[in-house]
């Protein structure tokens, strides 16, 4: 019979027509040839297990290179970084305003200064590191089938329950509101403090 990827690509009617026209033996030969050509098949058919295992490494490389650049180029004095569009247009701080300056301060071991630039980000960094470590361990322990986009991946794409994401969104919204208040709390939380 014709293999499943061929049926998925061309449809069941095409597969039935192919068998009727060429016979079952030809269809079996066709399936064997497609299996032998697996290394040259598109990624969607081969699976992505190895690539999925390397994603945490790629993210770590991007974060490390960005952090290294921000550690060397001071966002407080350099114009190498773009301005926040919300801050530029409205004068209000978005939840990420001050993050680059906080990264620069953290890279130099100045935690209090980082918290002064963006308290929420500074408090979130340890959690982000732990989340990356858990993601890396889960990627290394996962079976290739679960990394291939199968049902196991869809079920466990997020290890956190929905209420955690909702609480995070509410926390970020409250932080954004509080840091833009004209009261002392807002002045203490804003990115220019």
Domain that holds residue 34: 1-46
- Model pLDDT for residues 8-62, shown as the tens digit of each residue: 555 555 556 655 666 656 555 555 554 454 444 444 444 456 677 889 999 999 9
Q: Are residues 130 and 156 in the same domain?
A: yes
Q: Are residues 28 and 59 in the same domain?
A: no
Q: What is the DSSP letter of 193?
A: -
Q: Are residues 56 and 41 in the same domain?
A: no
In the chain, the number of structural domains is 2
Q: Are residues 35 and 75 in the same domain?
A: no
Say whether pLDDT at 153 is over 60: no
DSSP3 helix / strand / coil % (the chain, rounded to 5):
70, 0, 30
Q: Report the mean per-residue pLDDT for the chain.
A: 78
Confirm whether pTM is higher than 0.85: no
Q: Are residues 110 and 144 in the same domain?
A: yes
User: CA separation (Å) from 102 to 22, 28, 79, 82?
Assistant: 67, 62, 16, 15
- Model pLDDT for residues 158-171, shown as the tens digit of each residue: 667 899 999 999 99
């Amino acid at each position: 019979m014709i293999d499943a990827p061929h049926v998925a690509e061309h449809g069941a009617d095409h597969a039935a027509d192919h068998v009727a026209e060429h016979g079952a033996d030809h269809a079996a030969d066709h399936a064997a040839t497609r299996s032998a050509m697996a290394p040259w098949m598109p990624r969607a058919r081969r699976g992505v297990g190895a690539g999925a295992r390397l994603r945490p490494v790629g993210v770590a490389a991007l974060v490390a290179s960005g952090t290294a650049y921000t550690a060397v180029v001071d966002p407080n004095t350099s114009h190498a970084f773009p301005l926040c569009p919300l801050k530029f247009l409205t004068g209000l701080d978005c939840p990420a305003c001050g993050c680059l300056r906080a990264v620069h301060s953290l890279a130099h071991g100045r935690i209090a200064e980082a918290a002064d630039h963006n308290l929420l980000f500074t408090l979130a960094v340890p959690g982000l590191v732990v989340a990356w470590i858990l993601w890396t361990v889960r990627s290394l322990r996962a079976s290739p089938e679960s990394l291939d986009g199968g049902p196991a991946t869809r079920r466990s794409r997020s290890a956190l329950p929905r209420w955690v994401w909702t609480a995070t969104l509410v926390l970020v919204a409250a932080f954004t509101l509080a840091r833009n208040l004209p009261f002392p709390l807002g002045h203490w939380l804003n990115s220019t403090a």
